[in-house]
Chain A
Amino acid sequence: MSENAKKDYLCEAVPPFTIATAMEEASRCLLCLDAPCSQDCPAGTNPGDFIRAIRFRNFKGAAEIIRTNNVLGGICARVCPYEVLCEEACSRTGIDKPIQIGRLQRFATDYEKASGFEPLEKVEATKEKVAMIGSGPASLTCGAELAQKGYAVTIFEEKAIPGGVLSYGVVPARLPQYIVDEEIELVKSLGVDIVCNTKIGKDKSIEDLKNDGYKAFFIGAGIQAPKMLNIPGTDLDGVTNAVEYLGSAKPSNGKIEPGSKVVVIGGGDVAMDCATTSRQIGSEKTMILYRRTREEAPAHKIEMSYVEELGVHMHYGFTPEEIVGKDGKVVAIKGKGFRDDSMIQLECDKVIFAIGQQPDDSVKSIADIKFSPKNTIVADEEEDCKTDVPYIFAGGDIVNGGKTVVQAVAVGKTAAESIEAYLSKEAK
């Protein structure tokens, strides 16, 4: 059994830096003039400056740089695909290997918390009321940015716990819940109100909120409906999906029935998270069924290696054909070659679909705005997050169909600026 496999479900996979090891890593940094790392951070977290601050033992200053640019800096430090963002851009790669930017960012934000340092100052809410719909990373960032500009922000969340994908999706090995909780507390400490168990479009409507005095809206509702394949056997007992599986495992600290022999279908990070979870909460055997090759899998290779170290069996090149049942329960899954005529049959008692998510039909009840044929909201999140209704803005997975947390942070910042511009214009 590999070293990783021994790790508990709640234990963070990558150990933290100490001051000494962080200094060693920061000393490896070339402190480039143009800091390509900073240029490649979608959220503008500015690694060039915060690594330099660490290099000059200004650890709290490093945290200040991170937080002023990215309020969810401790979360991003853990879940960002840095190997394709800041670290890919790192000049040190030309000598040996990139600076471990994510871990340094985590060091700075951990140091901030351990020392009780508060880099951001709360601003009194003297401006208009703004509502965020959904409490994932896009809404949290947008809300925090607007609160810092003096707006009165309330986030409405349909579930019992805020955080969206952060609380219900990403596995604790990558993102422990206490980190999510701490950063949500940080957002709240800036004056953002979070109201849970309230689904906009069902419990309350945009019209209700307008009557309550809200002048602008940001929809960052995410996408939760699992994609399924239209094959025989999907209604059998033991067939589930990533949203359901991960979303019940994390809030219960892993206290769910893992399945004894588990097959995960898919090749993305979410599929890897499902496989990791099942192993860590006690599956006897976990297998991944993915139709293309390892090289083509969209999951980050670090995550795939981690899953492989956990002893997960990877079956590449097969597409599911039928889930076989007995007495209403899953007993096996059959697959056929995606590019040839190979056949495979895997004995299992649990099948988890992790082939992506899509918006469900209920999103249309949130607001009467323009949707794409795929049920995503039509808005330009790179530019201004505007929908076809002037006071409604949208961004994150509900617009882009599903991207990264750091992309959601970037969008949250864009939306906040756009909302500020809109409300300042209206106020005149």
Chain B
Amino acid sequence: MNKRKHADLSVDFLGFKCENPFMLSSSPVAANYEMCSKFLEAGGGGVVFKTIGTYIPDECSPRFDHVRKEGQPFLGFKNMEQISDHPYEENMHFLRQLKKDYPTKCLIVSIMGSNEEDWTKLAKDVTEAGADIIECNFSCPQMTQENMGSDVGANIELIEKFTKATLAGTDVPIMLKMTPNIELMEVPATAAIKAGGHAIAAINTIKAITHIDLDQMTALPVVNGKSSVSGYSGAAAKPIALRFIANMKQDPFLKDIPISGIGGIETWEDCAEFISLGCTNLQFTTSVMQYGFRVVEDMISGLSIWMEEKGYKSIDDFCGKALNNIVPAEDLERDFKVYPKIDYDKCVGCGRCYISCFDGAHQAITWDAENRKVEIDEDKCVGCQLCLHVCPVADCITPGKVVFKPEDQFGLGSEAKYVEGGPNKRDIIVGQYDE
């Protein structure tokens, strides 16, 4: 059978024409030739090879943990691994072989030094081994040595010094991978670009403690009775990543700097979201650790189908398209509210909306215990739509009518009522909910 022709997913990233933007991030999933090769064969556009340093780290065991909610695993994932534990020469061999066997795939190599000489040497060696792009790891939160990892990403002086040192060893573009363990990423990112860097990769993992083992009174994973703060990733990290990326893409100095988006990418929709905020390259690890390299198949298929339906001929057509609609809170219109609408044919009478509205919102839903029927009290409803978010039934509660607030909305000497659709009636886009 003949599938429809798929959309063109190719994208130019720092001068390299990638067949698609999907890449393994520098992590345990891109640690050797075999893994990278299997991912590229599955359809990936490239890889970011696991960080190469000048020494081999001594890793702990166990080293992972994950967070569940209501039985759903991998909401977030904690990992304590550091940089590559393969011998230096073996890594160079992997790189040479990858570039030889996959010349059209984008080979990005992550490096991390502890001083300027290291950074220059690493840059020079991986360039000679075939790197198309270098990623400077300024952000691993679980390094055991000073002046390495996320220490760098939070220190402007080190960022400038190591960016320049890297440039001294290579002529390929370099990308700086940033830590989210700060408030504003624009500051270190600007420093890195001013020092000569070409692109930003964001975000690395978030410093975290996932669980406490209440018998042993320590955090997870337990390493002979002890544990440490380390990097948190996966679905829980995505909203944080999107925030940092939007901020950078809206920064006047950084707005045209290419960004490789990282943080909880698992589905094609996640990919589309990062692209809509301006990313032209996407990296992921946690979804691969949970499900394997095959996740890329549904990214390719799903994104292609969606793009074709939306009429997007290329990634560029929608890249950054959401940025204009993300505005400071003070710029949002606040002169109307959107009431929820309950579909009584679908309502199962569980009362969840009543509970949440009473205990978590504005006591604007009434409960008829005998008939198990809820009703919205429009006098009290503020249009927050918490009910819609907690309702377990598909399309049962949806955004309903839009009303404009009276001009004297706090009732100071006026009897004005809410006016449906007026006085300044216009089209209000209320958002879409598909489940």
Contacts and interface: CB of A to CB of B under 8 A. Distances in A.
A31 interface: yes
B1 A57 contact: no
Nearest to A59: B302
B267 A120 contact: no
Interface stretch (A15-23, A175-183, A281-289): A15-23
Contact of B268 (A31, A58, A64): A58
Contacts of A61: 298, 301-302, 305
A120 B3 contact: yes
B435 interface: yes
Nearest to B346: A18
A20 B397 CA distance: 14
A68 interface: yes
A131 interface: no
A121 B295 contact: no
A64 B5 CA distance: 12
B301 A64 contact: yes
A53 B298 CA distance: 6
B268 A57 contact: yes
Nearest to B300: A61
Contact of A19 (B5, B72, B294, B394): B394
B305 A60 contact: yes
A239 to B, nearest CB: 44
A56 B2 contact: no
Contacts of B295: 56
B302 A58 contact: yes
Contacts of A56: 266-268, 295, 298-299, 302
11 contacts: A52-B298, A56-B298, A57-B267, A58-B305, A60-B302, A61-B298, A64-B4, A68-B1, A68-B2, A120-B4, A148-B2
A145 interface: yes
B302 A69 contact: no
Q: Which of B2, B4, B294 has the most CB of A within 10 A?
A: B2
A110 B54 CA distance: 55
Interface string B359-377: 0000000000000000000
Interface in A93-123: 117-121, 123
B41 interface: no
B434 interface: yes
A227 interface: no
B317 interface: no
Interface string A5-22: 000000000000011110
Given A58-B298, A117-B305, A27 B72 contact: yes
Interface string B280-299: 00000000000100110011
Interface of A is mostly: helix
B269 interface: yes
Contacts of B4: 64, 118-121
Nearest to A145: B1
Contacts of A27: 72
Interface string B398-435: 00000000000000000000000000000000000011
A58 B301 contact: yes
B5 A121 contact: yes
A51 to B, nearest CB: 11
A67 interface: yes
Contacts of B298: 52-53, 56, 58, 61
Output the residue of A23, A119, A123 with the most chain B CB within 10 A. A119
A371 B299 CA distance: 51
Interface residues of A, number: 28
Interface string B1-29: 11111000000000000000000000000
Nearest to A71: B1
Contacts of A58: 267-268, 298, 301-302, 305
A308 B299 CA distance: 46
B432 to A, nearest CB: 12
A388 B222 CA distance: 71
B269 to A, nearest CB: 6
A64 B267 contact: no
A128 B78 CA distance: 60
A61 B308 CA distance: 13
Contact of B3 (A20, A31, A52, A64): A64
A197 B395 CA distance: 45
A43 to B, nearest CB: 12
A71 B2 CA distance: 11
B435 A148 contact: no
A31 B291 contact: yes
A234 B309 CA distance: 59
Nearest to B295: A56
Given A20-B394, A23-B435, A56-B266, A123 B2 contact: yes
B346 to A, nearest CB: 10
B435 A18 contact: yes
Contacts of B268: 56-58
A254 B295 CA distance: 47
Contacts of B395: 18
Given A18-B435, A20-B394, A20-B435, A52 B1 contact: no
A28 B19 CA distance: 33
A56 B305 CA distance: 14
Which of B1, B2, B266, B305 has most chain A Cβ within 10 Å? B1
Contacts of B269: 57
Given A56-B298, A58-B268, 20 more contacts: A18-B395, A18-B435, A19-B434, A20-B435, A23-B435, A27-B72, A52-B298, A53-B302, A56-B299, A57-B268, A57-B269, A57-B302, A58-B298, A60-B302, A60-B305, A61-B305, A64-B4, A67-B1, A121-B5, A144-B1
Interface string A255-284: 000000000000000000000000000000
Contacts of A119: 3-4
A57 B305 CA distance: 12
Contacts of B394: 18-21
Contacts of A69: 1
* 4 interchain residue pairs of minimum CB distance: A58-B302, A18-B394, A61-B301, A56-B298
A118 B269 CA distance: 20
A120 B1 contact: yes
Contacts of B72: 27
A80 to B, nearest CB: 19
Contacts of B1: 67-69, 71, 120, 144-145, 148
Contacts of A71: 1
A19 B433 CA distance: 11
Contacts of A123: 2
Contacts of A120: 1-4
A412 to B, nearest CB: 12
Nearest to B303: A58
B266 to A, nearest CB: 7
A71 B266 CA distance: 29
Nearest to A65: B301
A57 B3 CA distance: 19
Given A18-B435, A145-B1, A52 B294 contact: yes
B43 to A, nearest CB: 13
A61 to B, nearest CB: 4
A271 B435 CA distance: 39
A92 to B, nearest CB: 14
A178 B295 CA distance: 35
B289 to A, nearest CB: 13
B343 to A, nearest CB: 13
Contacts of B3: 64, 68, 119-121
A27 to B, nearest CB: 7
Nearest to A64: B3
A21 B5 CA distance: 30
A365 B269 CA distance: 57
A180 to B, nearest CB: 20
